[in-house]
Structure 1
Amino acid sequence: MKQLGSVLALGLVLAVGACGRTADSTPTSPIAAPAAVPVPAAGPARLDGYGPVSLDSTLDQVRTAWKEPLDGAVPDDYCHSLRPQGAQADDVVFMIEGRRLVRYDVHNDRIVAPGGGKVGMSLGELQTLYPDRGDVTPHKYDEQGHNLRVRPATEGGALINFEIDRNGTVTDWRVGLPPQVDYVEGCL
Structure 2
Amino acid sequence: MKQLGSVLALGLVLAVGGCGRTADSTPDAAGAAAAPAGPTATPATPADPPAAAAATGTARLDGYGPVSLDSSLDQVRAAWKEPLQGEVPDDYCHSLRPQGAQAEDVVFMIEGRRLVRYDVHNDRIVAPGGGKVGMSLGELQTLYPDRGDVTPHKYDEKGHNLRVRPASEGGALINFEIDGNGTVTDWRVGLPPQVDYVEGCL
TM-score > 0.5 by shorter chain = yes
After TM superposition, the structure 1 = structure 2 runs for residues 13-162 of structure 1, keeping only pairs within 5 Å, are 41=53, 42-162=56-176
TM-score normalized with structure 1 length:
0.78
State the AA in 1 paired with 2:159. Answer: G
Matched residues in 2 for 1:105 and 1:112: separation?
A: 12
TM-score normalized with structure 2 length:
0.72
**1:73 to partner: Cα distance:** 0.3
RMSD: 1.0
Q: Which runs of 5+ in 2 are unaligned?
A: 1-51
| Deviation by residue 1:156-180 (Cα, 9 ceiling, x = unmatched) | 1000000000000000000000000
Among 149, 161, 172, the alignment partner of 2:186 is 172
| Deviation by residue 1:86-143 (Cα, 9 ceiling, x = unmatched) | 0000000000000000000000000000000000000000000001100000000001
Q: What is the DSSP-based 3-state SS (H/G/I as helix, E as strand, rest coil) of the residue aligned with 1:181? A: helix
Runs of 4+ in 1 over 2 A off after TM superposition: none
Q: What is the DSSP-based 3-state SS (H/G/I as helix, E as strand, rest coil) of the residue aligned with 1:90? A: coil
State the AA in 1 paired with 2:99. Answer: Q
Q: What is the DSSP-based 3-state SS (H/G/I as helix, E as strand, rest coil) of the residue aligned with 2:57? A: coil
Relative to total residues, which structure has the larger helix share, 1 or 2?
A: 2
State the AA in 1 paired with 2:178. Answer: I
**Between Structure 1 and Structure 2, whose CA radius of gyration is higher?**
2
Matched residues in 2 for 1:168 and 1:43: separation?
A: 26
Aligned length: 149
Aligned-pair identity in percent equals 93
